[in-house]
Amino acid sequence: MFLTRFDPLRDLKEIERRFLAPFGEAEGGAKSNLRGFAPVVNTREEEKGYFIEVDLPGVQKEDIHIDVKENTLSITGERKLKEEVKEENYYKVESFFGKFQRSFTLPENVDSDAITAQSKDGVLEIFIPKTTPKDAKRIAIS
């Protein structure tokens, strides 16, 4: 007697597998370059300002652009990475690449002219200094 385990999602899994196959996501979980590249971002606030850390492995600092327009900070760039393995009877090349863009709305209490950035070991760190709070004024009612 032949038994088949009941799987209510079997048809759904088959549809997903067929849909993802052209994009390189078929069996084995291989990743595709069609998705592009979306870097991981961490943000934090401290007393002196705001920090944005962007993980950009394999991206040269010449390929990163940071722009501030109105109250929006935009980080754009492109990653070009080629992985090559050569062995006696085996040769494999994988290229991972893609353009990326991340944008952040800046709060009102920042000095956008004093923003600094540095790239080290595949991590871009941007410092956005806070402005000093203006003294409160009391308005007389006449």
Rounded to 10 degrees, the C-alpha dihedral 93/65/69/117 comes to 120
- Give the model's pLDDT for residue 48: 92
Task: Indicate the pTM of the whole model.
Answer: 0.62
Taking alpha carbons only, the member of 63, 57, 20 closest to residue 38 is 57
* CB burial readout 98-130, b (16+ within 10 A) else e: bebeeebebeeebeeeebebebeeeebebebbb
For the chain, 142 residues long, give each residue's pLDDT as a single digit of tens.
556 666 666 667 777 777 776 665 444 444 444 455 678 899 999 999 999 999 988 788 898 999 999 889 999 998 776 677 788 887 777 666 778 899 999 988 899 899 999 999 889 999 999 987 666 666 778 6
